[in-house]
Amino acid sequence: MNARILTTATLALAITAVLPAKAADPQLLNLVMPDAKVLAGVNVDQAKTSPFGQYVLSQMQSQNQEMQKLEALTGFDPTRDVHELLVATNAVSAATADAANNQTGLFLARGNFDAAKITAAATADNGITETYKGVTIIEDPKATHGVAFLNATLAVAGDLANVKAAIDRQNGGPSIPAALAVQVNHWSSTEDAWAISTVSPASLHAPAGAPNVPGLNGAGTFQTIQSAAGGVKFGAMVVVTAQATADNAQDAQQMGDALKMLAMLAQMQAAKDPAAAALAQSLQITNSGSTLNVSISLPEDQLQQVVKPKANVRRAEKAIKQM
């Protein structure tokens, strides 16, 4: 194991890979930066009750070597020890992140943490520590990112500036705007995993290695999205719900038409990809003014077949480019 276990990227991979309800933990929410642009949460405990959630957990355990090494040294296992995750960022583009001295965001977790054991393992592997307002922050050797345990059940990770700011807020009240808090309460109360963007998804800085989606990352129909939210509810039938707000009703209608075209193309390829065709057939699209509402439902075993092949992503990219 090396000091990369202390970086935001690795911690994000370790915990957010646990794709699976209850409302978001207020104490976690109070630690979020007041100008957050994107929020996402996962009810990890709920994921454990779902066969599909268990499938994703098993994939994470088998494929993430860094987490296997961390568990061997410290006994920490995110699939067992993390109950809820909240992710937040206020950097909406690469330029914004650079201008903010590489501030990338926060990863907030509620769980069971043996801080002393994790700290000892980290410092033995070139990690360093800093005490900030009575809280020990475990940092990477370059002191750019860190992890802090505010108590035995609350962990904060991210770039150092945001971690320290979260520590400053730990004894305060709600920090995000009331309107955003209402959205968080709605989506986190109805979904097992959820995400909210108060800005256009096209303006977001995608993580390294994330697939390129032409409709969002370049010029295209979906560039008119001004804000978006969505969630996943797990069970025998997995239900994905999404909502996007466009500039106007016409743009929202065009987005809906584009999605219907994609669904039609997928169903035409049913012989080659029956799982994707079944997913397309379950697609429900409605418009209400400038708001586009989308929902998809699929049995868990079929969803596993959809998410496995990388070829599905390539086919979607090609279809969007053709529009």
**Using one digit for the tens of pLDDT, what is the confidence trace for 78-119?**
778 889 989 999 875 544 444 445 567 899 999 999 999 889
- What pLDDT, on the 0 to 100 scale, is given for residue 14? 44
Residue 299's DSSP bridge partners are: 237
What are the backbone dihedrals phi and psi of residue 56, each rounded to the nearest 5 degrees, phi first? -65, -40
Question: Does the pLDDT value for residue 22 go beyond 70?
Answer: no
Question: Does the pLDDT value for residue 182 go beyond 60?
Answer: yes
- What pLDDT, on the 0 to 100 scale, is given for residue 229? 95
- What pLDDT, on the 0 to 100 scale, is given for residue 12? 42
Task: State how far the Cα of 41 lies from the Cα of 190, in Å rounded to an integer.
Answer: 12
DSSP symbol at 93? S
Question: Does the pLDDT value for residue 313 go beyond 60?
Answer: no
* Residues 15 and 82: beta-carbon distance below 8 Å: yes
pLDDT bin (cut points 50, 70, 90) of residue 301 is confident
pLDDT for 264-281, tens place per residue?
988 888 888 887 788 888
* Residues 37 and 104: beta-carbon distance below 8 Å: no
Can you say whether the dihedral through the CA atoms of 300, 238, 81, 60 is positive or negative? Answer: positive
Q: For the chain, what is the mean pLDDT?
A: 79
pLDDT bin (cut points 50, 70, 90) of residue 49 is confident
Enter the CATH code of domain 3-169.
3.40.1000
Which of helix, strand or coil describes residue 147? Answer: strand
- pTM, two decimals, is 0.80
* Residues 144 and 162: beta-carbon distance below 8 Å: no
Domain locations in the chain as residue ranges: 3-169, 199-321
| Residue of 301 and 284 predicted with greater confidence | 284
- What pLDDT, on the 0 to 100 scale, is given for residue 52? 77
